[in-house]
Amino acid sequence: MASQLLPQPPLTKSVISIIPSVQSQPNCNTIIHMEAYARIYRQHSTPLLCRPTGVAPVLPQFTGIKSVIFDIYGTLFISGSGDIGVHSASQQEETLRNILTSEFDLNLDNASNYTQRLLSSIQAEHQEMKARGIEFPEIDIREHWKKLFPALSDEQIDALAVRYETISNPVWPMPNALETLIELDRRDLHLGIISNAQFYTPALFPAFFGDQTPNFPTALYSYRHREAKPGLELYHKTVARLEIAGIKPAEVLYVGNDMRNDIHPGRAVGFKTVLLASDLRSYRPREEMKLPRADATITDLNQIIDLLVESH
């Protein structure tokens, strides 16, 4: 059962606030679909607690910061699987079958492992994209569900993808995520996102934050660009968009939980970097890679406020 702490409909205002990250000219269908995804998350989500990492925060102060950019999974949201994706396929097959029969009224082949077929389809596209020179490829998960179940409508495919995500990668807001975002927005900082993500990812904000969701003028989701982190493509595009807004890379604070996917590429394009070490499931120090340290390490998102020296 979904927690009663979740905001209740209507969601239209909060959906509109994250639409710039989805498309440049939102329409009614986009808003309706995003609200539908948000409701699926609300219905099938339960609270998750962080597992402490034991890491000590490192809290220098930064001046001249004009923008704060966030990763999503493991940063703004606790990720039950540690990061976005399909995990523990053998354990999820039975649950998936129950969803397909009870919620989508499908007659299934008893000899078929649908979870494995989904993974194999994704892996095949990854291999094909790598052969074309894309080092860190990203897929649109809807295309692979459609291959498995071509009889389902586009709306049903969307619903199935979101529903499956709720069991393969359960999420819940990171402690103090909304409060931190609201405070940064109050300070007129340019908020943004760089995330390995799928079409349903933007719906997390209206699902969990409702009408309190701040605007994210700059947001890049990997599925729309067919390239994923730690590749630099999303970071370079973010730099270009921020430059249009008059913001230089050195004026950006980038917050993520993964040294390889977040901190290393963020540093490469000139961002100030903040490693979030709040949840053992998703904290990725990557010590074996011997990467340069982040500029700051935090154990709670509200410590971002302590890093920033306000201009007067």
For residue 118, the tally of other CB atoms under 10 A from its CB is: 21
Half-sphere exposure for 269 (CA within 13 Å, toward CB): 26
pLDDT in tens, 161-191: 999 999 889 999 999 999 999 999 999 999 9
Can you give the pTM of this predicted structure? 0.89
Looking at domain 12-83+170-307, does it have CATH number 3.40.50.1000? yes
Which pLDDT score is estimated for 204? Answer: 97
Q: Which of 69-78, 156-165, 222-231, 303-312 has the lowest mean pLDDT?
A: 303-312
How far CA 238 is from CA of 45, 191, 244, 248, 308, in Å, comes to 31, 11, 10, 11, 21
What are the residues facing 284 on neighbouring strands?
A: 258
Q: Where are the domains of the chain?
A: 12-83+170-307, 89-168
- Round the CA-based radius of gyration of the chain to a whole number and report it: 19
| Mean pLDDT (whole number) for 276-305 | 96
State how far the Cα of 41 lies from the Cα of 144, in Å rounded to an integer.
Answer: 21
pLDDT in tens, 104-154: 989 899 889 999 999 999 999 999 999 999 999 999 999 999 999 999 999
| Mean pLDDT (whole number) for 248-256 | 98
Highest mean pLDDT among 23-37, 90-104, 158-172: 158-172
Asked if the model's pLDDT at residue 229 lies above 70, the reply is yes
pLDDT-based confidence at residue 222 (cuts at 50, 70, 90): very high
Ramachandran angles phi, psi of 51, nearest 5°: -105, 115
**Residue of 222, 227, 290, 220 whose CA lies nearest to 260:** 290
